[in-house]
Amino acid sequence: MSAVIPIITAAAPYISAASSVFSAFSSFSQGKSQQAMYNLQALQTQAESARKALQYEERANETLRKLNANNAATVARGYAGGILGLEGSSKLITAINTREAGRDFMTDISNASNALMAGSAQADIFGTAGNIAARGGLFDAAGKLATGAYEFSKVIKTEEPPKA
């Protein structure tokens, strides 16, 4: 048993150095994993904002469909009642319908644009967070390697060159 102790004592600095290298690699890998997670969140955010924008665009298109149907019914009702469907009260009703539908349409288009911009901004934030995580992992790894090198240098005795 006592023969093993000098071997362990001699190997300890190398084991410590190897441990520092593995710890540094772990920190680097963790930073890269966090970056990948943030990049995935950025993609999910962009997809979600695109989905919301599409919903707003579909709603805007539905507003136009309803406007056309309402205006057609108003004009047809006017002609069926024996008046010109594109003049007088029928024209006033279609004008008011068109104005209100136009407001709704523009609100939906604006909301679609805002959803895309918000998603892009959030995706940029996630991208930046990912870059920071990767950089942090790299700096942590470098710090662990430097600490390991310092500890290794304290344990290993270097021979001084012969003096002339």
> pLDDT (tens digit, 9 = 90+) per residue, 126-154?
999 999 999 999 999 999 999 888 888 87
Query: Tokens at residue 37, please?
Result: 């997670």
Question: Could you give the CA distance from residue 95 to residue 108 in angstroms, rounded to a whole number?
Answer: 20
| Residue among 145, 120, 136, 144 at smallest CA distance from 34 | 136
Backbone angles phi, psi at 156, to 5 degrees: -80, 125
pTM for the model stands at 0.72
pLDDT, tens digit, 9 for 90 and up, residues 66-108: 999 999 999 998 888 888 878 888 899 999 999 999 999 999 9
Contacts of 130 (CB under 8 A, 6+ apart): 34, 35, 36, 37, 38, 39, 42
